[in-house]
Each structure stands twice: as structure tokens, then as C-alpha cells.
């Protein structure tokens, strides 16, 4: 553009110097130069506009690429969050089901325990008069409710025939047991460790049978509610090296048999 202006100026000066430029020629020359200037300006503007448009297009493409990347990242984050929430919801549902099941089991166990406790309390209450009179003891041992009676009250030494005074106590006990027809009892004989084990075992069994037979035949207990067992000297409750301990070990026990339908819903 500057070269064109310089050329124009030199031409005008040259023509003026020679004095041969006419007005019409001068005007035509000016018009031509103006047209050339306009064309150059138009070309320059077009080039600038094209460059600016390209720059804008490039920036737009760059922004669109960034936006696309961000959108893809946001979609991925959304999908991960949605999946995590779904997993937590599923786990929460499983936990809720497990909690409900545990609560049901706990309630069932509590109900069973309450039934067993009520049964034990009923037996204790029924035997309270005899227990307070010292005729027997009621305790929990080896997982059973145990009614224990001294063997020396029931039998003479080394004998299995009931004493006469023992029959009154057993008759009183039979009246209590008949008030609980839904309960089962095992009559268990025990001895001290004096003498041979096999003889003591036999003696303990014979004593248990004597008690069972009396309760059935004389006491009127249903035979289906009673069983007999002999344990000899093998379940002592006291020290056999002492007279008092041996006396405590010579005993007859009534074991309340647990009702499995109360504990396990067995039918």
C-alpha cells in the first residue's frame, strides 16, 4: 500500500515536472489509483476477516471438545453415582431383611425362654411347701431342673426297699407331680463311692425303680410321665472323703425333662 502511494506521488511529480499532464489524465490516474487502493483494502479486509473467522472457528472447536469431554465425565460420574446408590439400596434392603429375620428369631427365642422359665417357676411353686419343710431341694443342675431327695431318708444303707416313712413323702410328691400332667420326669438314683462301682451302679438303678414303681402304683402317676436311671457314684455333688459329702451323694433326683417343642418347635 505504501509502495502504491509512493509510485503515485512520483508519477504525479514526474508529469508535473514535464508539464505534460492534462486534467483529465490526472483525474483518470487518481481514479485508477483509488480503485487499486480500494482493491488492496478489500483484499486486506477479506484476509483479516478470514483469519478472524478461522481463529473463532478453532476456538469454538476447542471449546466444543472441552465441553464434550466434561459432559462425558459428568455422564460417567452420574452413572457411577447411580450404580453406587443402587448397590447401597440393594444392600440396605438385604440388611433390613436380615434385621427383620434377626428380630423375629430374637422374639421367638424370647418366647421360648419365657415358656421354659414359666414351666420351671410352676414346678418350683408347686414344690415350695415341701422344699420349705426340708423334705426335698429344688435346684438347676446339669441343664435340668432337679428335685433332690436324700437317699438316707428313702432307704436303709445298701438297700433299695423304701422305708415306711419315705412313702408318706413320696405320696405327697406324687400329688404335686399329678398337678403337672404335661411334664416328664426321670427318676435318677445316685450313690457314694464306697464299694465296687458295678454294685453301686446296680443299687442306684434299683432305688430309682423302687421310687418309680411306688409313684405309679401307689401315687397314681401316669407311667408315661416317668422313667428311671442309675448313675452309681459317677455324678457326686460333694466330697466323698467326708461323711457329710458321702451322705449328700446318696440321693434320688427327679429331673424335669425339657420339652423340645418349647425349645425347637419340633413336632
Q: Quote the CA–CA distance of 111 and 114 in Å, as a whole number.
A: 5
Which of residues 145 and 53 earns the better pLDDT score? 145
At residue 156, does pLDDT exceed 50? yes
What is the mean pLDDT of the segment spanning 218-239?
96
The fold adopted by the segment(s) 127-264 is: 60s Ribosomal Protein L30; Chain: A; (3.30.1330)
Which of 86-118 are b and which e, b meaning 16 or more Cβ less than 10 Å from the residue's Cβ? eeeeeeeeeeeeeeeeeeeeeeeeeeeeeebee
End-to-end CA distance of the chain: 114
State pLDDT tens for residues 66-110: 767 777 877 887 888 888 877 777 777 777 777 777 887 778 767
Return the minimum-mean-pLDDT range out of 119-133, 157-171, 178-192, 209-223: 119-133
Q: Please state, in angstroms and as integers, the Cα–Cα distance from residue 8 to each residue in 20, 33, 74, 146, following that order.
A: 16, 7, 64, 136
Nearest in space to 253 (alpha carbons), one of 220, 234, 231? 231
Amino acid at each position: 500500500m505504501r509502495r502504491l502511494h509512493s509510485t503515485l506521488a512520483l508519477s504525479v511529480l514526474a508529469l508535473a515536472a514535464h508539464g505534460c499532464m492534462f486534467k483529465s489524465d490526472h483525474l483518470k490516474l487518481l481514479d485508477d489509483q483509488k480503485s487499486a487502493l480500494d482493491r488492496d483494502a478489500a483484499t486486506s479486509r477479506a484476509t483479516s476477516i478470514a483469519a478472524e473467522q478461522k481463529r473463532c472457528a478453532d476456538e469454538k472447536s476447542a471449546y466444543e471438545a472441552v465441553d464434550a469431554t466434561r459432559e462425558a465425565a459428568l455422564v460417567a460420574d452420574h452413572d457411577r453415582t447411580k450404580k453406587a446408590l443402587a448397590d447401597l439400596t440393594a444392600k440396605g434392603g438385604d440388611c433390613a431383611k436380615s434385621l427383620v429375620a434377626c428380630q423375629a428369631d430374637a422374639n421367638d427365642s424370647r418366647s421360648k425362654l419365657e415358656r421354659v422359665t414359666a414351666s420351671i417357676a410352676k414346678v418350683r411353686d408347686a414344690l415350695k411347701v415341701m422344699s420349705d419343710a426340708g423334705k426335698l431341694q429344688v435346684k438347676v443342675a446339669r441343664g435340668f431342673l432337679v428335685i433332690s431327695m436324700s437317699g438316707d431318708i428313702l432307704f436303709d444303707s445298701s438297700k433299695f426297699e423304701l422305708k415306711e416313712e419315705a412313702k408318706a413323702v413320696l405320696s405327697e410328691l406324687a400329688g404335686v407331680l399329678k398337678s403337672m400332667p404335661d411334664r416328664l420326669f426321670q427318676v435318677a438314683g445316685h450313690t457314694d463311692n464306697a464299694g465296687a462301682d458295678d454294685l453301686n451302679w446296680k443299687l442306684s438303678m434299683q432305688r430309682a425303680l423302687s421310687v418309680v414303681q411306688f409313684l405309679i402304683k401307689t401315687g397314681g402317676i401316669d407311667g408315661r410321665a416317668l422313667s428311671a436311671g442309675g448313675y452309681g457314684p459317677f455324678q457326686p455333688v460333694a466330697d466323698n472323703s467326708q461323711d457329710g459329702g458321702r451322705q449328700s451323694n446318696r440321693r434320688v433326683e427327679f429331673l424335669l425333662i425339657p420339652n423340645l417343642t418349647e425349645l425347637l418347635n419340633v413336632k
